[in-house]
Amino acid sequence: MNLNSIAEADLVFTLEDTANGFGVDLDFLDSESAERTASCSTTDISYFIDPQTGEGVSSRQVEITARMSTLAALNITVV
Mean pLDDT of the chain: 86
Q: What pLDDT shows up at residue 51?
A: 92
pTM of the model: 0.66
Q: Which tens digits make up the pLDDT trace of 41-72? A: 988 888 888 899 999 888 888 898 888 888 88
Is the residue at 43 inside a domain? yes
How many CA atoms lie less than 13 Å away from 44 in the CB half-sphere?
1
Answer yes or no: are the C-beta atoms of 39 and 16 closer than 8 Å.
yes
Q: What pLDDT shows up at residue 76?
A: 82
- 50: containing domain: 3-73
Is the residue at 79 inside a domain? no
Compute the distance between CA of residue 53 and CA of residue 4 in angstroms, rounded to an integer.
42
State how many domains the chain has: 1
Is the residue at 46 inside a domain? yes
Outline where DSSP puts E strands in 10-55.
24-29, 35-49
